[in-house]
Structure 1
Amino acid sequence: MSEEKQTFEQKLGRLEQIVAALEKGDAPLADSLALFTEGTTLIAQCSDELDRAEQQVVKLMKGSDGAPVELPFEEET
């Protein structure tokens, strides 16, 4: 599956696999470097997606004057 077609959740799942493989510590150096490179790429992609989602939420939460409205989360009882 190409990186462009992966969902956010699929990218996070792959990151979990990469972390587990790197924590195991038994991969050859070249493989570890390739996993690390893939992981940093996925982190950047996920971060971009989260930034876009946050911007969309802020846009949706604008008040009548156009200024963002920040509402506290409801506390669960």
Structure 2
Amino acid sequence: MPAPDISLLVSSSKAGESNDKDTTEFIARVKDRKPTRISSVIRESRGHDFKIRRREIPAAPEWVGERLSAR
């Protein structure tokens, strides 16, 4: 099956996530599957509270805006 023409934004952390290796492998596999595009926000440590997620919030709309303006 051909790779879809889609942009993905993946979020994880370097430490504390149970799936960090799977996420890293997924990112590496997708990078080689054009036309699919992948970007990532990788934090130093895990966390699911608002203080941690607040750092990701500015990146997400900026990322979406860059993809919309490229179309």
TM-score (norm 2): 0.32
By percentage of residues, which structure has more helix?
1
Larger Rg: 1
TM-score w.r.t. the length of structure 1 is: 0.30
